[in-house]
Chains A and B, each alone.
Chain A
Amino acid sequence: MMGGFAIALQPVNILAALVGALVGTATGVLPGLGVLGAMAVLMPLTFYLAPVSGLIMLSGIYYGAMYGGSTTAILLKIPGETGSVVTTLDGYEFARKGRAGPALMICAVGSCIAGTVSIVGMSFFMPALANLALKFSSPEFCALAILGIITLVRITSPNLGQNMLMVLLGAGLATVGVDAVVGSTRFTFGTESLALGFDLVPIALGLYGVSELLNVAQSSTGFPKAQSVALREMIPTREEWSRAWPAILRGSGIGFLMGLLPGPGSLTSTFASYGVEKAIARKHKSEFGKGAIEGFAGPEAANNAVATSALIPVLSLGIPFTPNVALLLGALMIQGIQPGPLLLSQHPDIVWGLLASMYVGNVALLILNLPLVSMWVRLLRVPQHILIGGIFVISIIGVYSVRSSAWDLIVLFLFGIVGFVLRRLKFDLAPIILGLVIGPVFEKAFRETIFLSRGDLTIFFRRPISASLLVITVLIIVLPALYKLYRRRRMRGYESTV
């Protein structure tokens, strides 16, 4: 870890963390773009840095965008991302009582504490999980990829079929171009453009960034206006602190543990934290939903803790369980680094440098963002006609700069339109990103398994870890259906008794 600090405290990496946190917050503050949109817009910038600096900057963007999302949740009741949905319940109500400043301060301090708790936990968990992951071979990775996909598909939205279709669309797109295993081309129809394949950046930016800009462009209302917050009004009272910190600690623990599990931990951990706070509240129970401090301090901490601990599976196993982390994984791969069990032994500088930089980033976020809160509010007041064009140009230059390919720009706008239409039709877009990232991982592992076993598929069930992972996958599919059936029968029994 000390080596990690030596890397993180290099001036270029401190600067990368600070710039990442700042631009991430600036982008996250813009309603609608969200963490994924912010990361997608700014990801190409990180490719011009050394891998470790680029990753540190991207993590800073990730944190910053999350903080920016909380700011809009509190000031405008617009969640910047799914994890901030719960914050809108009590955070916005608390701000409406004239306490917007303290709410932002509590969230910033809580995020910093939660991030630090999670990083400490991560420092202990990472080596242990990396050692466990060394026991993983192709069948286990294949089973883990299936588990990751099924979990996300099951949890993100109630429509299992639509989500699965979106994952398969993403996985299908990933197969276009050069086959990484044998080097031949697929689905190119003799064109050079398709031989390049579909890059993650234009697709993610198109689906999330451009589609959101089109959404803002078509609306006549534009970006909403926020109330102003002065720095001197931001200090919470003693009573507010005494109510906030236990919730922050509980939220940090909940978030850290949920980040280790497959699935969108951000959303589930915030709801779990909110549920816990509401359940254990005695004196202030009636305040929930009307501006209870515990109602946003705990979930915000959980959201930040989960953001860090969700990196453990991706760094040690190479399997992302959320779209945000999938983008981080994609950025690593573009930098030529393959996450997985060997990452810690082959690139310890990257892993420990990243962990240490998270400490730095968390503190930087706290130091920078509190004095700058009035600037973020002012950013929301920049006229729409300047913002829209500016973000479009940054997106175009960002995508073009990755491969200097006009084809990528066509893909960017094509997927912008596709994303816009699919969102209107109520299709979830996150599974496409996940399919695009996990698809190649699954394919490589599956084909290696077939080679290893000489075509014998029972290998998946003969190996204990892969068999267990597949059993868990089946349970994730079957159990909710069985529970639904059980409830329906119980209801029928109850109705007939009545």
Chain B
Amino acid sequence: MKEFPRVTKIQVRCASAILTLIGVFYTWEALQLPMGKPIGSGSGSTPAMIGAAWSVIGAYVTVRVPEIILGEDGEGLWPNAEGTRRIVMVLALCAGFILAMNYFGIIATSVVFLFIMAVAFGGGLFQALLTSVLLSAALWLVFVHLLQVRLPMGTLVSTLFGG
């Protein structure tokens, strides 16, 4: 259990408090919207009700935190240092995918993304390269050709190939 730190009541309380604060801010914003005539028919009325209930229940949940019982799939436990590193890496790769997609196009980005992911999760170099190329080609066939989805081909690719 030392490797996977347990979730504490204080952490749950903090999360509930953050959600409550968002609720309070949401309520304040909702109250700036028109309530309509008769009152309740305007665009701010339902958000105001939702926000008020959100704030009150959020405060209640913040105060009354139940006992944390460990569940399936690591519920009630935080990832260990190694796990956290992997999550950060995956999220950084995903952010890179979103940023690179518009420049290099979705296919080239997918190949690189899949290759790095495969290597990072223990795949061999050749196997990673082969699967990333094949999978990207399959996705291109399904989405672009079969389903006629408009995916970014990439400004760089368009400039280079005059498309």
Partners in one complex: yes
Q: Within 8 Å CB of B71, what residues of A?
A: 426
Q: Within 8 Å CB of B147, what residues of A?
A: 45, 48, 401
Binary CB contact string for chain A from 18 to 50 against chain B (1 if under 8 A, 0 otherwise): 000000000000001000000000000100100
A165-B57, A393-B110, A443-B46 known; A424+B95 contact, CB < 8 A: no
A32-B73, A218-B83, A424-B74 known; A172+B23 contact, CB < 8 A: yes
Which residues of chain A from 162 to 185 have a CB within 8 Å of any chain B CB?
A: 162, 164-165, 168-169, 171-172, 175, 179, 181-182, 184
Q: How far is the CB of B7 from chain A (nearest CB, A)?
A: 6
A172-B23, A397-B106, A450-B41 known; A417+B150 contact, CB < 8 A: no
Binary CB contact string for chain A from 217 to 229 against chain B (1 if under 8 A, 0 otherwise): 1111000000000
* Contact between chains at A426 and B135 (CB < 8 Å): no
Q: CB-nearest residue of chain A relative to B83?
A: A218
* Contact between chains at A447 and B45 (CB < 8 Å): yes
Binary CB contact string for chain B from 21 to 63 against chain A (1 if under 8 A, 0 otherwise): 0010010011001001011110111110011011001101100
* Contact between chains at B66 and A447 (CB < 8 Å): no
Q: How far is the CB of A160 from chain B (nearest CB, A)?
A: 9
Q: CB-nearest residue of chain B relative to A189?
A: B29
Q: CB-nearest residue of chain B relative to A171?
A: B50
Kindly state whether residue B137 has any CB partner on chain A within 8 Å: no
Q: How far is the CB of B151 from chain A (nearest CB, A)?
A: 7
Q: Within 8 Å CB of A424, what residues of B?
A: 7, 74-78
* Contact between chains at B83 and A404 (CB < 8 Å): no
Q: Within 8 Å CB of B61, what residues of A?
A: 161-162, 165
Kindly state whether residue B157 has any CB partner on chain A within 8 Å: no
Q: Pick the contact of B121: A45, A172, A388 (CB < 8 A).
A: A388
A390 to B115, CA, bound (A): 10
Kindly state whether residue B122 has any CB partner on chain A within 8 Å: yes
Binary CB contact string for chain B from 117 to 138 against chain A (1 if under 8 A, 0 otherwise): 1111111000010011001100
* Contact between chains at A397 and B57 (CB < 8 Å): no
The 6 A-B residue pairs with the shortest CB-CB distance, nearest first, are: A455-B38, A218-B83, A389-B117, A385-B121, A385-B123, A450-B40
Q: Can you list 6 contacts pairing A with B, beta carbon distance less than 8 Å?
A: A172-B47, A175-B47, A389-B121, A406-B102, A424-B78, A447-B46
